[in-house]
Structures are given as C-alpha cells and as structure tokens.
C-alpha cells in the first residue's frame, strides 16, 4: 500500500482546510502533521525547508514536496485522477471544461479570496487573538464581496455550480473562507440574500467531505 501523503499545518487554517477538503473528495489517505503557529513553528528552519515563505500548508507525497494550496489541490486531482470524485478537476479529454474550472479557481483566488480572507481575519481570527478591528477595512471588503457575489449570483442562475453542472475544485476552493463567514459572522447575509448563491452555498457546504473538514477544525489538534 502506498505511503499516505502528508499535510503540514493546522486544520483551522483556510489554506490547509482547502487541501484537506480535496484529499477527502478524492479518497486519498493522508496524515495531518500539526504546525503550532502560535509558537511560530511555521517560521522554524525545518518548516522553511518545506515552505520557504513560512506559510501553511506544506505537502509531501513520497519524494515530491509542494506548497500553495490551490497547486496542491490540482496535483492531488491529477495524480489520483481515478480515485474518489473523478471529475473534480474535469478530465484531460475535455480541455475546455478544465479551463472553465481554472477560470473560476482563478476568480476565487483573485476576486473572492482577497475580500473574504481579510474579513475572516477581522471578524473571526482577529477577535480570538484580541486584535483591534479595523472598521474601515471591514466595510470596504464587505462592499467588495457584495459585488463579487452579484457576479456569482448571475452565473449560478444559469449553472448548478460555478464551472458547470458538476461540483469542481472551483467550488471547493471557496469553502474555507466562506464557511467561517457564513457560520459565525453577519457576512452570512451577503450569501443568504442572493437566491442562487444561497442555493449553491447550501449544496457545497453540505458535502460529506466538507462536513468532515469542519469536524477536524473543531477537534483538538493531533499530537506530533
């Protein structure tokens, strides 16, 4: 049996949870190695050998070492194409479909994530660390997110999922930040008041793979 792949990072991290969701969708065995960010473990020399920017996650599959959660997700989907959800990243016989998934993955990374990651910090992680909230940043990024969700709502009026009629990496990539915002902040309203976005969110957030990730986020970290 193949060695399980390794994911280094805490499951509460949005980028780590993106990779966990992908591994679960693809039925790929993995070992989660916790990284204690409060103690600065992600800036330790050992960790920097795996991820030189000092960010989580880092990922290993045998001799290959990778970072950047969206790159890791693409790799897992290609390498383990025949396992689990086979169409998560389209299939290589349909380049247009794959390109659509990339298009919406990029939209997530370039338009959705910049606003949501600031809101997650300001409204979820910051308060936990007793950081002072920046009201201006919150207002500005809610407005940005509202515009992005308007685009999504129009798209999802004509399409079950972002890249077409099947759940893909493009939808998955939104789960980590959106989940924190919908579960625990008033940003939830921005999702719920848009009919198609609300429908789409209901479907993707109830997938078994994501429910398992949320459970991991709420459980105590594994002992290394």
Applying CB under 8 A, which residues contact other proteins? 52-53, 64, 66-72, 74-75, 78-79, 95-96, 98-100, 102-103, 105-107, 109-111, 148, 151, 154-155
Nearer Cβ to other proteins, position 112 or 201?
112
Nearer Cβ to other proteins, position 140 or 221?
140
Task: List C-alpha distances in Å: 51 to 32, 42, 65, 111, 119.
Answer: 16, 8, 9, 25, 25
Nearer Cβ to other proteins, position 72 or 172?
72
Minimum distance of other proteins from residue 114's CB (angstroms):
8
Nearer Cβ to other proteins, position 150 or 203?
150
Nearer Cβ to other proteins, position 154 or 215?
154
Minimum distance of other proteins from residue 215's CB (angstroms):
27
Minimum distance of other proteins from residue 134's CB (angstroms):
13
Minimum distance of other proteins from residue 101's CB (angstroms):
8
**CB of 178 closer than 8 Å to CB of 123:** no
Q: Own/partner pairs for 70-73, CB < 8 Å, 24+ apart?
A: 70/18, 70/105, 70/109, 70/169, 70/173, 72/19, 72/22, 73/18, 73/19, 73/22, 73/169, 73/172, 73/173
Minimum distance of other proteins from residue 30's CB (angstroms):
16
């Amino acid at each position: 049996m193949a060695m399980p792949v390794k994911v280094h990072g805490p499951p509460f991290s949005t980028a780590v949870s993106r990779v966990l969701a992908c591994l679960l969708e693809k039925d790929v065995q993995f070992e989660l190695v916790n990284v204690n960010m409060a103690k600065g473990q992600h800036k330790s020399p050992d960790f920097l050998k795996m991820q030189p920017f000092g960010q989580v996650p880092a990922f290993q599959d045998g001799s290959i070492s990778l970072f950047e959660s969206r790159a890791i997700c693409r790799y897992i989907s290609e390498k383990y194409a025949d396992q689990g959800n086979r169409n998560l990243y389209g299939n290589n016989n349909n380049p247009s479909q794959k390109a659509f998934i990339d298009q919406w993955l990029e939209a997530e990374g370039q338009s959705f994530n910049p606003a949501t990651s600031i809101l997650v910090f300001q409204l979820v992680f910051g308060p936990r660390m007793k950081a002072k909230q920046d009201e201006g940043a919150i207002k500005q990024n809610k407005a940005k997110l509202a515009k992005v969700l308007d685009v999504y709502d129009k798209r999802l009026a004509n399409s079950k999922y972002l890249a077409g009629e099947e759940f893909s990496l493009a939808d998955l990539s939104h789960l980590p930040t959106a989940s924190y915002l919908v579960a625990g902040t008033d940003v939830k309203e921005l999702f719920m008041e848009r009919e198609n976005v609300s429908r789409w969110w209901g479907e993707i957030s109830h997938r078994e793979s994501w429910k398992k990730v949320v459970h991991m986020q709420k459980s105590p970290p594994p002992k290394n």
